[in-house]
Structure 1
């Protein structure tokens, strides 16, 4: 949370934390945690009465939600925003984001291969059990 003068907003565009949490189906605790770890920032009006999120930050929160859904960790998001930096240069962020997503694609591919292998093992095991059960059933009917 940054209490610098540029973090004060004198507009009606701030979305209060409770309202935003409801809109996005998040908890206020999640938003506060994301602030604590530095991947989002809230702003406050000049009179200090309302603390909330600017439209830019709401878009950023939506992006964080999507990145989280894609499997990115908080640490990876922190790294991305460090690259993005104060200059807000997407030409630096996008290549890093692509690299991070490519790493996740490789991880997902590896997990899918392990799951496919597990499926084969399970089907073979089930088939062996079925055959064994069929033999036992035949013996009991004799």
Structure 2
């Protein structure tokens, strides 16, 4: 199996559940690069990297379709055979994803600040130390 990882190992490395990884396979986001003789999914480092991209996108509210589009865009940029025109389009698309990610991250920072304000209020009202 030289260098190939089983789903449990991938789950541990990505902090995604095996069920979630199987779901991403079923919807075509990240398919295993190989199968064992027994039919078990086997993943490469590149597969793990794709799953990590998805894991980072998920809390920012990206849809499965957007995740697929971004992974395809990254693949174009990684493809040495891609034309200059395809690379330019991919870079422009990447900027759109970056802008959306920045907006989502800012929204999450605001929500976190509200949550911290609320827990501070509760801590003050209860006269206890914050956990």
Give the TM interval when normalised to the shorter protein: 0.5 to 0.7
Equivalent of residue 16 in structure 1, options 6, 16, 23: 6
- TM-score, normalising length from structure 1? 0.55
Cα 1:67–1:107 shift into 2, 3 Å:
closer
Q: Which runs of 5+ in 2 are unaligned?
A: 78-86, 115-131
**Which position in structure 2 is the counterpart of 1:58?**
48
Partner of 1:125: none
Aligned to 2:19: 29
2: CA distance between counterparts of 1:18 and 1:102?
A: 34
Q: 2:76 aligns with which of 89, 112, 137?
A: 89
Determine which of 82, 98, 101 is the counterpart of 2:98.
101
**1:76 equivalent in structure 2:** 66
Task: Report the RMSD for the aligned CA atoms in angstroms.
Answer: 3.0
In structure 1, the gaps of 5 or more residues are 1-10, 120-142
In structure 2, the partner of 1:137 is: none
* Residue 22 to residue 107, structure 1, CA distance change in 2 (3 Å): closer
Provide the C-alpha distance between the structure 1 equivalents of 2:102 and 2:66, rounded to a whole number of angstroms: 14
* Alpha-carbon distance in 1 for matches of 2:51, 2:91: 17
SS in 2 for 1:89: helix
Does the CA contact (< 8 Å) of 1:16 and 1:52 recur in 2? Answer: yes
Q: TM-score, normalised by structure 2?
A: 0.59
String of CA shifts for 1:33-73, please: whole Å, max 9, x gaps. Answer: 11111111102257565521111111111122122243322
Q: Distance in 1 between matches of 2:47 and 2:8?
A: 15
- In 1, the alpha carbon distance for the partners of 2:5 and 2:65 equals 26
